[in-house]
């Protein structure tokens, strides 16, 4: 089995100081390739140097909606420059977060739009973070319908209606450990709706350790296997078959070799 952790934060506290061990444990568990995601200027820099020195590790670069109010034109210019790097396989995570509302909605929208501009220009995929902001997220994406290469809704928590909308737009959906939680019956029902050529998985580590290892902190790529097993069960196929199909989905989505 060779899974890809399509969304991790290896530069975050708890993982940053043990990246090589973390990746080695991933390989041992069958999680052999990874994408690590930057969320602000500091982490984007760290992510770039980390992926430069590690094989099978790629980057997503962006400014999280939490910090949208602080982002300047110069910051966006820098991001655009950094995003040209061949090891940067996606823009984001970017999007809208009206749950925390750490930045006002208007600046979140502005910064989100600028990420989409860069992604469209460079023809690189976009990783979307959206919370309590589904309608606005979809209407902004609607304006980019044919210009974006690939779009994934990361850490998906939508209902069946939203899922259908996302699928109808041709976007991908990615699940974290939240889909494994005991109370997540509804989310597992939603996961059944998603064809495996549109579905990906991620740890979003150091956060969201999956059931039944929620007590293990921080989360790390090796634990992705539990999320894979849960979704294989949901789709009624073996873990190996599930892994093979969604690994191919992820390779195609991000253009990984
Ligand atoms: Zn994340």
How many A from CA of 167 to the centre of ligand 1? Answer: 21
DSSP output for the chain: --EEEEEE-TTSTTTGGGHHHHHHHHHHHTEEEEEEE--SHHHHHHHHHHHHT-TTEEEEE---GGGGGG--HHHHHHHHHHHTSTTEEEEEEEEEETTT--S-HHHHHHHHHHHHHHHHHHT--EEEEEES-HHHHHHHHHTTTTT-S-EEE-S----HHHHHHHHHTT-EEEE-GGGGSTT-HHHHHHHHTS-TTSEEE---TTS-PPTT-TTSSS--GGGHHHHHHHHHHHTTS-HHHHHHHHHHHHHHHHT--
* Ligand 1 centroid, distance to 158 Cα (angstroms): 16
Distance between Cα 140 and ligand 1 center (Å): 20
| Residue 66 and residue 99 in contact, taking contact as beta carbons nearer than 8 Å | no
Q: Which residues contact 245 (CB under 8 A, 6 or more apart)?
A: 196, 197
Distances (CA, A) of 82 to 111, 112, 253: 16, 17, 20
Ligand 1 midpoint to CA 235 (Å): 25
How far apart are the CA of 147 and the centre of ligand 1, in A? 24
Query: For residue 107, what pLDDT is reported?
Result: 95
**Distance from residue 2's CA to the centre of ligand 1 (Å):** 22
CA of 50 to the centre of ligand 1 (A): 17
Options 1.10.10.10, 3.40.640.10, 3.50.50.60, 3.20.20.140; CATH of 3-254: 3.20.20.140
Task: Please give the pLDDT value at position 145.
Answer: 82
User: pLDDT tens, position by position, for the chain (257 residues)?
Assistant: 999 999 999 999 999 999 999 999 999 999 999 999 999 999 999 999 999 999 999 999 999 999 999 999 999 999 999 999 999 999 999 999 999 999 999 999 999 999 999 999 999 999 999 999 999 999 999 999 899 999 999 999 999 999 999 999 999 999 999 999 999 999 999 999 999 999 999 999 999 999 999 999 999 999 999 999 999 999 999 999 999 999 999 999 999 97
Residue 121: predicted pLDDT = 98
Separation of 226 CA from ligand 1 center, angstroms?
18
Q: How far is the CA of 100 from the centre of ligand 1 (A)?
A: 15
- Residue 73 Cα to ligand 1 middle (Å): 23
Q: How far is the CA of 129 from the centre of ligand 1 (A)?
A: 8
Q: How far is the CA of 205 from the centre of ligand 1 (A)?
A: 8
């Amino acid at each position: 089995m060779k899974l890809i952790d399509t969304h991790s934060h290896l530069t975050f506290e708890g993982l940053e100081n043990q990246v090589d061990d973390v990746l080695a444990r991933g390989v041992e568990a069958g999680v052999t390739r990874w994408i690590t995601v930057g969320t602000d200027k500091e982490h984007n820099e760290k992510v770039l140097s980390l992926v430069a020195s590690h094989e099978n590790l790629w980057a997503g670069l962006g400014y999280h909606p939490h910090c949208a109010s602080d982002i300047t034109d110069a910051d966006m210019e820098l991001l655009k420059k950094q995003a040209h790097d061949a090891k940067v396989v996606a823009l984001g995570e970017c999007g809208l977060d009206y749950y925390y509302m750490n930045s006002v909605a208007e600046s979140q929208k502005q910064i989100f739009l600028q990420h989409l501009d860069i992604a469209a220009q460079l023809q690189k995929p976009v990783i979307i973070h959206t919370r309590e902001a589904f309608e606005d997220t979809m209407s902004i994406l609607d304006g980019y319908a044919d210009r974006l290469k690939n779009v994934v809704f990361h850490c998906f928590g939508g209902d069946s209606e939203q899922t259908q909308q996302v699928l109808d737009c041709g976007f991908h959906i990615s699940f974290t450990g939240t889909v494994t939680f005991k109370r997540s019956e509804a989310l597992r029902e939603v996961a059944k709706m998603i064809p495996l050529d549109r579905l990906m998985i991620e740890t979003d580590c150091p956060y969201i350790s999956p059931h039944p290892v929620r007590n293990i902190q921080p989360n790390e790529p090796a634990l992705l296997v539990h999320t894979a097993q849960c979704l294989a069960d949901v789709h009624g196929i073996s873990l190996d078959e599930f892994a093979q199909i969604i690994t191919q989905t992820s390779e195609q989505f991000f253009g990984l070799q």
